[in-house]
Amino acid sequence: MTSKRIFVITGPTGSGKTTVSHYLRSQYQIPQVITHTTRAPREGEVSGQDYYFETPTSFATKHYLEHVTYSGNQYGSSREGLAAAWEQSPLISIVLDTAGAVTYARELGDQAVVIYLEVADQDALIQRLTKRGDLPSRIQKRVASDEYLRDQALPTGLVGHAHVIVNDDWQTTRQQLDQLVAKYCPADALSKD
Ligand SMILES: Nc1nc2c(ncn2[C@@H]2O[C@H](COP(=O)(O)OP(=O)(O)O)[C@@H](O)[C@H]2O)c(=O)[nH]1
Ligand SMILES: Nc1ncnc2c1ncn2[C@@H]1O[C@H](COP(=O)(O)OP(=O)(O)O)[C@@H](O)[C@H]1O
């Protein structure tokens, strides 16, 4: 029998969570659980693909496994979303802040394989956000938020549970991800291109 697992990808803004999630999807067909947010879409982001973009009123109507406020916006993930992704594949992924990752580790135990991403050089991280197209005013607000500062460190609740990847060099990160997929993925369950 195939056991269900979820890669919980967490870490500070700009550490590469979305990039890792996209890599797992394109390289290993690992579906991503789409979460809900009241944040405005960035250029190129599509509702139902990157997030379900909500108004504060529509956000309040969903049933969340957990939800948080991050830098002034609301984010939440639903049990229905988790179940729908597991219908597609035994190995799925989700991108969460560290508070969400702690909840998932607590609720799902060994089913949650937590990946904590970090970038050694803070200046490089700000440059990545600028290159991504984030407005300077938004970057300033984000890096000044309590949540951003909190996510700079692995929470005590995840010590010994999370796989820490320093995402400075993409090729090195990629190798570490390949090793993790090989460890947790039943060889016959995923088709690798
Ligand atoms: N706990 C929790 N965090 C979420 C959820 N969806 C997104 N996040 C996190 O919210 C934070 C802000 O996300 P976003 O505005 O897309 O900014 P980014 O980190 O710069 O990509 C990130 O740490 C995301 O991982 C969710 O459903 N629950
Ligand atoms: N190892 C890396 N080296 C250089 N740039 C990277 C690396 N990983 C991600 N990036 C870039 O950094 C920016 C932020 O990454 P992203 O995945 O959006 O982070 P997050 O989802 O954690 O906020 C993106 O423009 C992405 O292409």
Dig out the tokens for 116 from the structure: 């904590």
**Could you tell which of 21, 52, 53, 75 is best to mutate to test the pocket of ligand 1, judged by most ligand atoms within 8 Å of the CB?**
75
34 C-beta closer than 6 A to ligand 1: no
Cβ(93)–Cβ(9) below 8 Å: yes
What's the total number of domains in the chain? 1
Q: What is the pLDDT of residues 58-70, one digit of tens each?
A: 999 999 999 999 9
Q: What is the pLDDT of residues 69-88, one digit of tens each?
A: 998 999 999 988 899 899 99
pLDDT, residue 188, reads 55
Q: Among 4-13, 16-25, 33-42, 181-190, which stretch is predicted with the lowest mean pLDDT?
A: 181-190
Would you say residue 189 lies in a domain? no
Would you say residue 192 lies in a domain? no
**Could you tell which of 6, 13, 63 is best to mutate to test the pocket of ligand 1, judged by most ligand atoms within 8 Å of the CB?**
13
Would you say residue 81 lies in a domain? yes
Q: What is the pLDDT of residues 112-126, one digit of tens each?
A: 999 999 999 888 988
Would you say residue 193 lies in a domain? no
Mean local confidence (pLDDT), 38-60: 94
Would you say residue 191 lies in a domain? no
**Mean pLDDT of the residues in the chain:** 92
Mean local confidence (pLDDT), 146-154: 94
98 C-beta closer than 6 A to ligand 1: no
Would you say residue 28 lies in a domain? yes
Would you say residue 25 lies in a domain? yes
Structural domain boundaries, residue 29: 5-184
Which residue, among 3, 15, 11, has the nearest Cα to 167 in the 3D structure?
Answer: 15
Would you say residue 29 lies in a domain? yes
CATH number of 171's domain? 3.40.50.300
Residue 10 has pLDDT above 90, yes or no: yes
Q: How many other CB atoms are found less than 10 A from the CB of residue 17?
A: 22
| Residue of minimum CA distance from atom 25 in ligand 2 | 132
DSSP 38-60: -SPPPTT--BTTTBEE--HHHHT
* ipTM of predicted assembly, 2 dp: 0.97
Phi and psi at 38, nearest 5°, equal -95, 0
Give the C-alpha separation, 52 to 12, whole Å. 21
